[in-house]
Amino acid sequence: MSESYVYYQGKIVKEDDVKISVRSKAFNYGLGVFEGIRAYWDDEKQQLYGFKLKEHYERLKESAKTVNLDFDFSVDELIEGTIALLKANNCRTTTYLRPIVYNDALDIGPTLDGKDAKVVIYTQPLNKYAGKSELSVGITSWKRISNNQLPPRTKATAAYLNSALAALETKRAGFDEAIFLTDGDHVCEGSGENIFIFRKGKLVTPPPADNILEGITRDLVMKLAKEELGLEVQERSISRSELYVADEVFFSGTAMEVTPIVDVDHRTIGTGHEGEVCKQIKELFFGLTVGKNPKYAESCTPVYDK
């Protein structure tokens, strides 16, 4: 197997050369924030495109700021490092990037004093995340973390225990994925995805005040629905039973992309298959990830020099 490289503290280094102590606060207390980014491979052009790099690194910096992890790298430096890393690993297939900023102090105690923050980015080939083109989901009994517990706007590593518990419960119950409710019993999101419903001719998605992660794919889906499909889009609270009677339900997310949900809590959604709105948004989405739509070309950063 060829050598794998990572971006670590501003340099491209061998993955095996990066060590994290068993004493690291990142490992002991989950004191870190991260991103999930895709780079899409275009066979026709033999080119790889980093997707929405700027938006992801801006969110990473916001997450780090929120939890008081000080790190010096700018968005531009992180983008440059990402391109160098994809080249170093000679990534020539659709690839997932995982940047993590973590507290690497070694003393005992879950403290966030801003010191000892480190940044690492690794790559992983990733085609389809769900392994299925249509999903069945269940409402989990675990409530979504709230803004005054562990800010969901922040992609904090520790928050993913909440996601993992929800996914475990619903997978054991035979579903493909979980949907969280908030403490106030509004529909929130999946374990790693935002949710949309199409009902009464409108596309609806929960607002940030309902403890969602402000998804980058969610923003794009809202824009595509409004500008390309001429749909009315509402950000408002959704109740559990509204999912059951929606014409369509679907997830959006970097890993999950745009994926239809055809069953919620054993209630068939719409026709029981992908709906027309989801299908159209999916087509628009995949049409722009490799720079083919000039209106959205700035979302895609080419990796290889041509």
Ligand X SMILES: Cc1ncc(COP(=O)(O)O)c(C=O)c1O
Residues that bind ligand X (CB under 6 A): 36, 189, 192-194, 213, 215-218, 252-254
- In angstroms, give the least distance from the CB of 178 to ligand X: 11
Task: Determine whether 155 is an active site residue.
Answer: yes
Contacts of 288 (CB under 8 A, 6+ apart): 295, 296, 299, 300
Neighbours of 141 (CB within 10 A): 12
Report the residue number, 151 or 192, with the smaller CB distance to ligand X: 192
CB of 110 closer than 8 Å to CB of 76: no
Residue 136 or 162 with smaller CB distance to ligand X:
162
Shortest reach from residue 203's CB to ligand X, in Å = 16
Number of H helices, E strands in the chain: 7, 17
* Active-site residue identified among 155, 200, 223, 295: 155
In whole angstroms, the minimum distance from the beta carbon of 266 to ligand X comes to 24
Asked whether 225 and 231 are in contact (CB, 8 A), the reply is yes
**Residue in 285, 271, 74, 264 with CA at minimum distance from that of residue 181:** 264
Shortest separation between residue 23's beta carbon and ligand X, angstroms: 28
SS3 content of the chain, % helix, strand, coil (to 5): 30, 30, 40
Tokens 């000080």 locate to: 70
* Distance between CA atoms of residues 150 and 76, nearest Å: 28
Shortest Cβ 79–ligand X spacing (Å) = 16
Tell me whether residue 81 or residue 215 sits nearer to ligand X (CB atom). Answer: 215
Instruction: Find where tokens 């991103």 sit.
Output: 35
On whether the CB atoms of residues 203 and 225 are closer than 8 A, the answer is yes
